[in-house]
A = this chain, B = another copy of it.
């Protein structure tokens, strides 16, 4: 038995109208061609009648060459009106990290990439401040300082988009990046920009959530990782977690405790995304964890 970690696999993410025979058809495509399914996760939204699946199979003895799998699967996909995407475990995603002044999430991510916990390659860091340059250099990742103001926002984003294109970036992680991206920018990376918001959404969207949580006197604070959409803090939620607070906690304690939650929530979301475990529909996510 080959160890799962080092196996070369293909991953299909599928959503389509639910009907009879889908699983058989997908499993048949794989088995008929000599593949061995290692994960088959499936979910049905009964209210809406939608079928979702994530199928991962060992391609070491698969008779269809990697570059032809997509075209070979196409007829099946069309017959069932599938939305689908195909990925390979040996093709890590290319990642850009956006950061502002606070480095706790940035460092945490970099250390997880370096240790191999996160599968992906961080190709560049973009920041509207210079603060995180030393840390980027410590990790050996190119750092691009692109300041932003109301006036230069459009030209700054153009510069960013060019950098992202040059490095063929697949996924953008906003690791406490305190700038709102334009609608156009977001469109270009639909469901590929992951943000961490420092509250338990939909509570406290927007600015200064810890201040507002403190003033409201909540007994629990949280963090939310979501895909960025054109509506601020309203994109599909990937992961959330919380920590207890009490009257003994000052605003500073809220912020300090919150950081620990922000780090792990963002790391989990990025991990699932990079392993192609997240499907988005209807502003919600299916996470095959």
Contacts and interface: CB of A to CB of B under 8 A. Distances in A.
Interface in A226-270: 236-242, 246-248, 250, 252, 256, 260, 264, 267
Interface stretch (A38-46, A162-170, A178-186): A38-46
Contacts of A30: 23-24
A155 interface: no
A1 B237 contact: no
Contacts of A75: none
Contacts of A248: 43, 289
Interface stretch (A66-74, A93-101, A279-287): A279-287
Nearest to A61: B20
Contacts of A138: 138
A156 to B, nearest CB: 29
Interface residues of A, number: 70
A46 B1 contact: yes
A18 interface: yes
Of A24, A38, A242, A246, most buried by chain B (CB within 10 Å of CB) is A24
Contacts of A218: 201-202, 237, 240
Contacts of A35: 20
Contact of A217 (B19, B111, B203, B285): B285
A216 B200 contact: no
A284 B203 contact: no
A282 B215 CA distance: 9
A96 B33 CA distance: 49
A38 B28 contact: no
A36 interface: yes
A31 B24 contact: yes
A287 B46 contact: no
27 contacts: A3-B46, A4-B250, A5-B252, A19-B36, A20-B36, A21-B31, A24-B28, A24-B32, A25-B31, A28-B28, A37-B42, A41-B42, A43-B247, A43-B248, A46-B250, A104-B111, A117-B256, A201-B203, A216-B284, A217-B236, A217-B237, A217-B285, A218-B237, A219-B237, A219-B240, A220-B222, A247-B285
Interface of A: 1, 3-5, 18-25, 27-28, 30-32, 34-44, 46-47, 49, 104, 107, 111, 117, 138, 200-204, 216-220, 222, 236-242, 246-248, 250, 252, 256, 260, 264, 267, 282-287, 289
Listed from nearest, the 4 A-B pairs whose CB atoms lie closest are A217-B284, A24-B27, A24-B31, A203-B203
